[in-house]
Structure 1
Amino acid sequence: MPPELVVLSLVVVTALLFDFTNGFHDTGNAMATSIATGALKPKVAVALSAILNLVGAFLSVEVALTVTNAVVNIQDADGAPRPELIDDGGQALLLIVLAGLVGAILWNLLTWLFGLPSSSSHALFGGLIGATIAGLGPAGVKWVGDGTKLDGVVGKVILPALMSPAIAIAVAAVGTWLIYKITNNVAAKYRDTGFRWGQIGSASLVSLAHGTNDAQKTMGVITLALIATGSWTDLHQVPFWVKLCCALAIALGTYIGGWRIIRTLGKGLVEISAPQGMAAESSSAAVILASSHLGFALSTTHVATGSILGSGIGKRGAKVNWGVAGRMLMAWGITLPAAGAMGALTWLIGHLVGGLLGPIVIFLILVALSAWMYVHSRRQPVDHNNVNDEWVEGVTNRILPEPVEVGAKVRSKL
């Protein structure tokens, strides 16, 4: 088999692995609040989300056609790879793409290990940007575009990162306030029961919206790799098998369930009720679908987290854990540079090893580090059995009181 086809195979497999991590990393965006309020059982929620992510992946290719050439200069204006990057059969471009994907996956797994809902989109962009800088220098990155439209790192990544959570917070806060205002005279138990049913619909819409946005990113990366090796020539379409594989990968990842992140969003950020959950999910779906229609590859994590925060702000007396929110904001701020550093380091390793062995070595490094993080996660497992347990900060030394049974009641020893 020619070396470029071996590297292409590694890129395709790694891209699908990224899609898989994207799925379980972002499951909580759609289903955390529904699981936390009891609207859906945990396993039912992730299964429903997986099916709708699968369907959503086939509904649009707007993001897929813009994801790579929006932030890095490895393609011309028409989307074709730069000639100097494919003179060697496409191996130079494939190494950049492979290194970027490895950087993104490692950051996704690291933040999952700590239960932090950081952005898979920013991890992908960061990995690609870092690998491109390492391979082509700073000029290889499209920082601001040509000024005729929102483009480049500033227009496609930084501005949406700042605007989308702010918009989601505002929409969810207003929506939550209106819900409680309108249903003020309805008994709480009837209100919550009704909104739990509503949550099923709104959470489903978020999952569908997630498929229309996030699955497209991997489609675009694989299609670019295929074009670089001459395996695909249409610059305006994505091969059907690529759509199918990416849809299945993100759906499978979603079904596995990123329980650590679901727990953080559902129990650690806001003490959430069913009306708040429906307001948050509806806000997320509206913002994500609008961005997909416009071709903006924004972070669904930023939108969903902003919506959950907004639902806490919009309800009088709601408890918001600002410590957890602060850690999330810190993770958001360092995602782009951290994934970029990983992508750059990965490219340097592959480049120094050289030849066909370089891509193989960095793929094996990815496998080894991923296995280590998985084994480490099993020391304190989080799954569908304990995802809804009461939230206790891991950094506190507070000792919970032991329950003591007194007659038919359970009291705590103080």
Structure 2
Amino acid sequence: MDTLFLLALATVIVVLVFDYTNGFHDAANIVATVIASRAMTPVQAVIVVGVFEFLGPLLGGTAVANTIGKFVELGGILPLLSLAMLLCGLIGAIVWNLGTWYFGIPSSSSHALVGGLIGAVVVGVGVDHVVWGFHELASGRLTGIVKVLAALILSPLIGFWVGFAIHRILSVLLRAATPAANRHLRFAQFFTAAGLAFAHGANDAQKSMGILTLVLLLGGFISHFAVPFWVMLACATAMTLGILSGGWRIVRTLGFAIYRVRPIHALGSQLTSGLVIMSASLGGAPVSTTHIVATSIMGIGASERPRAVRWAKAKDIATTWLITIPGAALVAILAYALVNLFLGAKP
């Protein structure tokens, strides 16, 4: 087997490993409020989430995959060099995911992926091969990194205010309810958690689908950028296996450390997050489930009792968000330097 095939195979494997780490890293985002509100046991939550997480990438379209697969321009670059940069970018994202998971920090896998790829491409072939999108923005068009960053920055703000509004609506609707209503609120979470899992799969797994399709294109295995069905199936499977593994370290942060979550808060957070993420998926905007779930909880808490929100913890999370892209980029650059050192020259 030639070097190009082996490098492409290695990159495909690493894409799926990233997808897996994304799954177990983000598992807590989906199940945290369900478990914190005692709507489901961890086993029930993982089963419900796992099923709908698998269906999301298969039925959610490929709009996000198209966005992610086209924010770097590697056409005309030697295939070996292109694949090496993708590989190093993915390593940067994976290392960052594992590190933040280990310390229980709900950082963004999406930010890590974008940062890793930017770092590897910039150090490998220069800034001109990243589709920044500033020129297109002046023409009123969102594309490239500008579109990715706009989605990642605006979606948490939208999550906060939608969560704020939904909690106010739920509070009005349930103002005369007795404590027995909590049983119905917990039951409703079987549907909202399933919707959130579907939306997460439709958005996050598509990011890996886009990168994997780009690997096939740069390696010359397909003639144009179109996501094959087996790629959808492989990414859906890897993401679901990651979800089933569970990132329980982060559950404590999202479910307990930001605001005391009760059934009404959990339902509102899941409904908010599912709506925002699914809307973004249909528009081809890659967003961070971590960001949206966390800010929806903050918005709900601010709607009810602003002083009870642990804003210090929110500040810690926000700091992690800010350093994720440069942090993952730095890891990718180091990985690229090691590849060059190992090979003795550029790939």
> Which residue matches 1:97?
86
> Which residue matches 1:177?
168
% same residue: 37
Within-5 A mapping of 1:133-172: 133-147=122-136, 148=139, 149-157=141-149, 159-172=150-163
Q: Read off the aligned partner of 2:320 and give its amino acid letter.
A: A
Larger CA deviation: 169-178 vs 147-156? 147-156
Give the number of the structure with larger relative contact order, counting CA–CA contacts within 8 Å between residues 6 or more apart. 2
Distance in 2 (alpha carbons) for counterparts of 1:8 and 1:104: 18
> Which residue matches 2:44?
44
Give 3-state SS (helix, strand or coil) of 1:334's partner. Answer: helix
Distance in 2 (alpha carbons) for counterparts of 1:118 and 1:267: 16
Match for 2:205 among 194, 209, 215? Answer: 215
Match for 1:328 among 307, 311, 317? Answer: 317
Q: Which runs of 5+ in 1 are unaligned?
A: 75-81, 360-414
Distance in 1 (alpha carbons) for counterparts of 2:344 and 2:62: 34
Distance in 2 (alpha carbons) for counterparts of 1:197 and 1:317: 27
Native 8 Å contact 1:107 1:339 kept in 2: yes
Within-5 A mapping of 1:117-128: 117-128=106-117
Is residue 2:339 matched to residue 1:350?
A: yes
Q: Read off the aligned partner of 2:312 and give its amino acid letter.
A: G
Shift of 1:162: 2.3
Give 3-state SS (helix, strand or coil) of 2:70's partner. Answer: coil
TM-score by length of 2: 0.95
TM-score by length of 1: 0.80
Distance in 1 (alpha carbons) for counterparts of 2:106 and 2:73: 29
Q: Read off the aligned partner of 2:99 and give its amino acid letter.
A: L
Distance in 1 (alpha carbons) for counterparts of 2:221 and 2:344: 21
> Which residue matches 1:62?
63
CA-to-partner distance for each residue in 1:303-352, whole Å, 9 max, x for gaps?
A: 11111111111223772222221111010000000001111111111122
Shift of 1:355: 7.1
Is residue 2:283 matched to residue 1:304?
A: no
> Which residue matches 1:229?
219
Which structure's CA Rg is the greater one?
A: 1
Q: Read off the aligned partner of 2:4 and give its amino acid letter.
A: E
Within-5 A mapping of 1:166-205: 166-187=157-178, 189-205=179-195
Q: Read off the aligned partner of 1:311 and give its amino acid letter.
A: I
Distance in 2 (alpha carbons) for counterparts of 1:38 and 1:173: 22
Native 8 Å contact 1:270 1:320 kept in 2: yes
Q: Which has the higher helix share?
A: 2
Give 3-state SS (helix, strand or coil) of 1:142's partner. Answer: coil
Q: Assess, with a 3 A threshold, how the Cα gap between structure 1 residues 57 and 38 changes in structure 2: closer, same or farther.
A: same
> Which residue matches 2:18?
18
Q: Which runs of 5+ in 2 are unaligned?
A: none
Q: How many residues end up aligned between the 2 structures?
A: 343
Give the 4+ runs in structure 1 shifted more than 4 A: none
Q: Read off the aligned partner of 1:168 and give its amino acid letter.
A: G
Root-mean-square deviation (Å): 1.6
Native 8 Å contact 2:53 2:197 kept in 1: yes
